[in-house]
Amino acid sequence: MSVSIFLVSCKDNTKPVEKDTYLMGTIIQLKVYGKNAEKAANESIKRINNIESKMSVNIGTSEISKLNAKAGVSGEKLSSDTYGVIEESVKYSKLTGGALDASIEPIVKLWGIGTEKERLPSKTEINEKLKLVDYRDIIFDKKNSNVKIRRANQAIDLGAIAKGYTADEIKKVLIDNKISSALINLGGNVFALGNKPDGTSWNIGIQNPLSSRGEYLGTIKVTNKSVVTSGNYERFFIKDGVRYHHIFNPKTGYPAEQGLISTTIISDKSIDGDALSTSTYILGLDKGLKLVESIKGVEAIFITKDKKIYTTPGLNDTFDLTNKEFTYEKGR
């Protein structure tokens, strides 16, 4: 999987502690500045491992795997981490009218995109699995921190939102260690903490979704913000000339095709950015822009198949298009 956002430049003499590793099925890059950087970075990696061990559907002993295995039978007592992320995922499932759906797992598993089992399923298979997808079947018991899934074979997948939560949690670890300048990149889910050590804002590149590796088409300057991108170029396979990617429309069971190839959300909290980048990808340009504009403090960059870039008005002076093959329609 490619990393969709990256630091463009940082011209100063302060040397960061850098940690690159592979966790949560993606490339993790931490760049931490300051006196406690080494300790802060190590604690951050531990925290990522900890969250992954609770929320991954690929780890048999995770809380999510245990909860899914009990679907239709009984509930599972969860850590506040997992309980909270399921709550957020269902909140966004409601807010997006089911464009995001916390219970998408049967569809994700059927397609197996990014795994050895990836394949184009038959329409019959898809329709069978679609019957299981309905976030309203996730039943919360807040007092006991317990979640139950109503019907057998239904299952939760937090892939659209867990990395955003993780970025927010790493931010906390860094702040607890008195770090005021850092860049967290969880496979394109970025949090830019504070400013660069020289006091200027971070310059974040937005990946060109049409180029296969690491090229950016424009940049934005941010301070203390989350920048999250979802795209069809991250995990996909091609069959008979058709690209099948990993963001599904829960109404059809097929990869979402609404004319967008990349969505980027800039927000204070990365969990919101992660949920909204996936959701707006599924909703498409018009509904996506409407949704983002209805939420205070959230900005977006949407890129369409026909190489047009749209942003919310708040980015008109900040987004700098560098690749002239794309045209930029400023927000109104």
Which residues here bind ligand ADP, judged by CB under 6 A?
100-101, 104, 108, 157, 159-160, 163, 187-189, 230, 234-235, 246-248, 250, 274, 277-278, 282
> Which residue has the closest beta carbon to Mg ion?
278
| E-only strand ranges, 24-136 | 26-32, 76-77
d(CA 157, CA 173): 25
By CB under 5 A, tell whether 4 contacts Mg ion.
no
Here's the x/- map for Mg ion, 79-118, by CB under 5 A: it reads as ----------------------------------------
Count, residues in the chain: 332
Q: End-to-end CA distance of the chain, in Å?
A: 34
Select 196 or 235, whichever has its Cβ closest to ligand ADP: 235
Element (H, E) at 221: strand 216-222
By CB under 5 A, tell whether 234 contacts Mg ion.
no
By CB under 5 A, tell whether 274 contacts Mg ion.
yes
Select 160 or 292, whichever has its Cβ closest to Mg ion: 160
Torsion of the alpha carbons at 152, 153, 158 and 160, rounded to the nearest 10 = -130
Question: From the list ligand ADP, Mg ion, none, which binds 166 (C-beta under 5 to 8 Å, kind-based)?
Answer: none
By CB under 5 A, tell whether 29 contacts Mg ion.
no
Q: Which residue of 181, 249, 264, 278 would you call a contact of Mg ion, by CB under 5 A? A: 278
d(CA 276, CA 310): 16
SS3 state of residue 163: helix
Residue 133 CB, nearest distance to ligand ADP (Å)?
A: 8
d(CA 207, CA 316): 18
Here's the x/- map for Mg ion, 153-172, by CB under 5 A: it reads as -------x------------
Phi, psi dihedral angles at 33 (to 5 degrees): -105, 150
Select 71 or 160, whichever has its Cβ closest to Mg ion: 160
By CB under 5 A, tell whether 279 contacts Mg ion.
no
Select 183 or 282, whichever has its Cβ closest to ligand ADP: 282
> Which residue has the closest beta carbon to ligand ADP?
159
Select 120 or 176, whichever has its Cβ closest to ligand ADP: 120
Position 179, amino acid: I
Question: From the list Mg ion, ligand ADP, none, which binds 263 (C-beta under 5 to 8 Å, kind-based)?
Answer: none
- The alpha carbon of 255 is separated from its chain's Cα centroid by a whole number of angstroms, namely 16
Residue 170 CB, nearest distance to ligand ADP (Å)?
A: 15
Q: Which residue has the tokens 């939102």?
A: 161
Contact between 297 and 318 under an 8 Å Cβ cutoff? The reply is no
d(CA 188, CA 229): 6
